[in-house]
Chains A and B, each alone.
Chain A
Amino acid sequence: MRTRNKLLHCALALAIGTALSGPFTANAMDASDAPDLITIDSLTNLYGPVEFDHAMHADLADCALCHHHTTGIPAQDPNCLRCHATSGEADTVACADCHTADRFNKDYLESLDDPMLYHVDKPGLKGAYHINCIGCHVEVGAPSGCQDCHVMNDSGQQMFKTGDYAPDPQDHNNGGH
């Protein structure tokens, strides 16, 4: 069932892509090129890794919904088109290749001073994941609580003062300070 669906879906995407954008989509990517399951472990200091079912998500949505213009479909955003109307296909497809994990480090912030650069407000990796995922999850009614996707580990519980580290309600029975 799944394979047939996927095939159908990709064929459809290809067809639409071809119709919409002519020559640039000649070697557009397809969801089957990606692994079915992706482990996202960039927040392991506080949470267990997230097993992201890429295949399932690819079934539900257009690649471009998450991947913007990196899967062969050209940029749609009028802001991007100002420069990238005739740009070729992106070299990479992984989120982390564009969305830096260390969004606010000094060097990166200084690199934004380049007057030729318009990507000054591009979210970092964590922001990109969450804005994309939660935005859609809330819209379609999919789970959107923090621990629906990632389970807090011990140091997470320590930071959030929860679970094993939860405050004793006896100490705070006057309702806070």
Chain B
Amino acid sequence: MKKTVSRRAFLKGGLAGTVAATTLLNSKSSEAAGSFEGYPEGMGVLVDLTRCVGCRSCEAACNLEQGLPEPAKPFDDYSVFDEIKHGEKRRTDETRYTVVNSYDVPGMEHPLFRKVQCNHCQEPACLTSCFVNAYTKTPEGAVIYNSKVCVGCRTCMVACPFYIPTFKYSSAFDPKIMKCIFCYDTRLKDGLPPACVEACPQEALTFGKRSDMIEAGRQRIKMNPDKYVDHIYGEHEVGGTAWMYLSSAPFDKVGFDTHVPKEPILNSVKDFLSIVPMVLTIWPGLFVGFHLLATRKDAAKKIEEEKKEVKS
């Protein structure tokens, strides 16, 4: 095994230097500086839109497992599929970590249903944008959040390409980020599937090692080339996600953003991060030099005066 300095470790080093805090590198945060391609044994879920029947069992199971507030409508009320706000279908919020939306696809007899929840990125944008290190990508594959250190700046919400983290705006004294955590505390860390997967009657959600899920997805596409679009959404999107999707309709027709970058969000921030050490090291010398140049006449005058004084 060849050991190389990972990029995240490098960036951390560069930025930590900006505050001249060498101790930072010894802090807990450096633990996360492992392979940025995600943990090899990380778990994942393959969501097969062709199997989902829109029963909302996953929503109900999530609500129960995570102890979320009572919903506005029962989970067997399917009128929610018609709810539109700001021209958009339902989204996750502080009362629900997952929602299922229905899409009528032209040329298809039945609607397709798409489940939305945190995709648990391999190199999560929320994590890399967080300046108090509130997020952790666990070896099991979950992206979890520590509300004890969060200041509520909501940069993670801006950074998440999937609009997943939501904020408990309703609270003044205990606000926090609310999002799917892959049932990490109650299930995943013990090797159990998340509640939604267990509740799904159709096995539209298949749980397993992420690498196995990619294989399973490829096999399903290969065995049924007419049924599936030849793409696993999440295999490469934003550097790969633990939750991935198969669909029988083009992904942009069923609510997916097909324009997200194919590399981690952090890559687009790299340009700026790389100039930081440059500015820090070059600017002082450069501007002191400018100062000496700009004031050289005054300096020359002073020297002449001093010379005169010495002579006399």
Contacts and interface: CB of A to CB of B under 8 A. Distances in A.
Given A120-B212, A134-B53, A160 B72 contact: no
Interface string A64-107: 00000000000000010000000000000000000000011110
A175 B72 contact: yes
Contacts of B126: none
A138 B235 CA distance: 31
A159 interface: yes
Given A112-B208, A120-B216, A146-B55, A160 B75 contact: yes
A48 interface: no
Contact of A177 (B94, B193, B202, B223): B94
Q: How large is the interface on B (under 10, 10 to 19, 20 to 34, 35 or more residues)?
A: 35 or more
A121 B219 contact: yes
Contacts, number: 95
Interface in B49-103: 51, 53, 55-57, 60-61, 63-64, 70-77, 83, 93-95
B75 A104 contact: no
Contacts of A123: 203
Query: Chain B: interface secondary structure?
Result: loop
Given A127-B202, A131-B51, A166-B74, A176 B83 contact: yes
B201 A120 contact: no
A141 B56 CA distance: 21
Contacts of B200: 127
Contacts of A128: 203
B236 interface: no
A121 B206 contact: yes
Contact of B203 (A126, A146, A169): A126
Given A109-B209, A121-B220, A167 B51 contact: no
B185 interface: no
Contacts of B223: 79
8 contacts: A104-B192, A121-B219, A126-B203, A130-B201, A160-B60, A161-B60, A167-B71, A176-B83
Lowest 10 CB-CB distances: which A-B pairs, in order?
A127-B203, A162-B74, A172-B72, A106-B191, A104-B193, A160-B75, A130-B201, A121-B216, A176-B72, A104-B207
Given A105-B191, A121-B219, A161-B74, 20 more contacts: A43-B201, A104-B207, A105-B192, A109-B208, A120-B219, A126-B201, A130-B202, A131-B202, A146-B76, A146-B201, A159-B75, A160-B60, A161-B60, A161-B63, A162-B75, A162-B77, A167-B71, A171-B70, A177-B93, A177-B170
